[in-house]
Chains A and B, each alone.
Chain A
């Protein structure tokens, strides 16, 4: 395993689109070649070296390449986007589209991330120690094919539109979330350990949601069908089991209608 270290040297005037900051793009390159990789600032094509000091060595393949960014990337988008293997560690915050469309490997951000992290993710692991803004693991605007696989863990809280059009994979929000969870989803699992404001599972066809805190406003399309014991991400609890969204179409399997499941932690 080889490690490339990036140190931010300049704050971009506009947002810098760091779509080249992936183990796939770095693999097999020297620090000078890495510094020469492109990235947009507005409509102008810049180079990574314009904003980062590059040290260390990349591995021969993406899987052998670790990237460590030592510093703040609040104005850098698309870090780790479309990566297939290897790892990216950010000792700071990042801007939007962190790990968007990623297929494999691991991303660890020790600060906060902006919106659209893990958008249309297909595989791999994405961990954020701080908070995430909106659209965690959702579909691209207009698209009906959302997150298909992999795991997103936000150790802080998240905003709205989590897992929109989700088809597979797991999203874990360890603190609170705002509105619109798993809207239009047809698969996958969303676990929210804190409270949610509302609109949980609107127009959801299939898939699972767990809420360990409270839901302030329930969707009218959900119906309680029982109480179950479940272990969720290391926590054992009793949950009220709801099915829905009753206003949406649902597929049939072996003669039975498949609903989306909402497991809401039962009041103690």
Chain B
């Protein structure tokens, strides 16, 4: 947090939290917070003719942790042509070397998010056992504030408690785990399927049986939603659904979304949803094979639009060469079988697994082009942009550095048609998707909802990030776009969002004219649940470590304080 006063003057302010859409106004900051006014000695940043938004909030991105690092090790070629590892401006200015394209180094991750004007990034899958590594990487990533979601969907304790219908014990276990891993909320990846993968199996259907645990994915999802609301966590249950990436999976997707029906959000953070369904692009496919593969974005969004207690993010395919990495171990094995590229598989004892496979989203491939269209269609069919967030499931559908390109496609039919026109199988893609017939172009206000106010509210952080109201953290991004006279060339929209004209992080200027000028003062955000001790859970956890279920000692399990030296702790009180 920076001391002193700052004022961003004369910009077109776009702040959905206060329904401000393009009004010319000043944003004043003092001691790292937004304030009503500042003295005349405040440092002035001229934003005349430019757009001013809150710092971006990313709800789902894989930027730190063991699988991200394994991806870096596995793909030296990802660094070869990444360009700026030597001549990067940041390095010239005396900052750290940057490398990597789809799995950038921690420094490049922080710098690129900073250049795009992002304040907060949620690491979307942290294996609890390897939380210390995840936090080390988070700490080494400059500028951005980060939090991490531990994975629970294939956790042995969770499955055993939920199999017996013990929501309270599940909640107590979650509370303990969030505390020891300095985690933020409940991530669920292919519930039951990754556990089944230990037997070489998968759970593609919501009612498949998880071997040994005698539970189904639907029961795990419902149980974790209930546990989440029992605790009143700031974020909801965050779901990566079963049957990812397969033709015809949209029906199962809607069935999983229906599990949230009738459940009300209980929390004091202003969060309204009970389920966040992530990278929905991978789950909105029709057809029976890759030959008749088609978009079911409309069908899925018709359901999402009327069901108010769910939020989604897109997971847009950006047509790049990238690296897929997920705790959905069986899916990565399946993908390796399709593209024959190198594959990494890891099992994390008692908790989860992970897989990594490089993938080339080739614009000349009909399937990849349809995937591209599905991601954008989800946003274009959405009615409530405060529940629909821009992501690329970085790096799975594309690197996060392509968000500006996704914004360009969403804001410009011309840009979409240009990309569509460049496809070899253009006609087949048009036939299998809706994108050609959609004229909708999103406004800057809607983009701000999808990247600022929406994700901040979904994460229960709406009093800190995603808006420009006095009292909130001083996160201000200035983009070189004239609100009153938007460029007719969509490339200029992408360029403006790629390199912010100015970005103020916690009251400190970290990016100026698109270049990093400070490493900032990043924070690690985590949730500390305070509830009475649950003797059964304490006994079960202790036994798992002492009787050899875990191969390590309980004393070595928690994340030590020094690994998150700049914490921002959100306290949650649960009454007995």
Contacts and interface: CB of A to CB of B under 8 A. Distances in A.
Contacts of A141: 76-77
Interface string A42-73: 01000000000000000000000000000000
B383 interface: no
B529 to A, nearest CB: 42
A27 B340 CA distance: 41
B77 A140 contact: yes
A252 to B, nearest CB: 14
A142 interface: yes
A220 B72 CA distance: 33
B76 A249 contact: no
B43 interface: no
Interface in A89-146: 140-144
A144 B341 contact: yes
Which label, helix, strand, loop or mixed, suits the secondary structure of the A interface? loop
A147 to B, nearest CB: 15
Nearest to B340: A249
A75 interface: no
A143 B101 CA distance: 14
Interface in B355-391: 358
A86 B340 CA distance: 37
Interface in A135-168: 140-144
Contacts of A249: 340
Nearest to A141: B76
B74 interface: yes
Nearest to A186: B340
A142 B340 contact: no
Contacts, number: 19
B80 interface: yes
Interface size range of chain A in the complex: under 10
A214 interface: no
A40 B87 CA distance: 11
Interface string B56-88: 000000000000000000111110100000100
A140 B75 CA distance: 10
A249 B341 CA distance: 12
Contacts of B358: 144
B86 A142 contact: no
Interface string A186-205: 00000000000000000000
B86 A40 contact: yes
A142 B78 CA distance: 9
B341 A142 contact: no
A40 B74 CA distance: 27
Which label, helix, strand, loop or mixed, suits the secondary structure of the B interface? mixed
B342 interface: yes
Contacts of B76: 140-142
B520 to A, nearest CB: 25
Interface string A215-256: 000000000000000000000000000000000010000000
B13 to A, nearest CB: 43
B333 to A, nearest CB: 15
Nearest to B337: A249
A41 to B, nearest CB: 13
A143 B341 CA distance: 10
A43 B97 CA distance: 11
A138 to B, nearest CB: 12
A76 B400 CA distance: 37
A140 B86 contact: no
Interface string B530-566: 0000000000000000000000000000000000000
A53 B342 CA distance: 46
B109 to A, nearest CB: 20
Contacts of A143: 77, 80
A113 B358 CA distance: 32
A22 B77 CA distance: 23
Contacts of B78: 142
A7 to B, nearest CB: 28
A237 B76 CA distance: 42
Contacts of A140: 76-77, 80
Nearest to B75: A142
A2 B157 CA distance: 75
A4 B340 CA distance: 46
B342 A144 contact: yes
A17 B387 CA distance: 52
Interface in B72-124: 74-78, 80, 86
Nearest to A43: B86
A143 B323 CA distance: 13
Contacts of B80: 140, 143
A143 B77 CA distance: 6
B187 to A, nearest CB: 29
A144 B342 CA distance: 8
A199 to B, nearest CB: 19
Interface of B: 74-78, 80, 86, 340-342, 358
19 contacts: A40-B86, A43-B86, A140-B76, A140-B77, A140-B80, A141-B76, A141-B77, A142-B74, A142-B75, A142-B76, A142-B77, A142-B78, A142-B342, A143-B77, A143-B80, A144-B341, A144-B342, A144-B358, A249-B340
Given A140-B77, A142-B75, A144-B342, 6 more contacts: A43-B86, A141-B76, A141-B77, A142-B78, A142-B342, A143-B77
The 10 closest A-B pairs by CB, nearest first: A143-B77, A142-B76, A142-B77, A141-B76, A140-B77, A142-B75, A140-B80, A144-B341, A249-B340, A141-B77
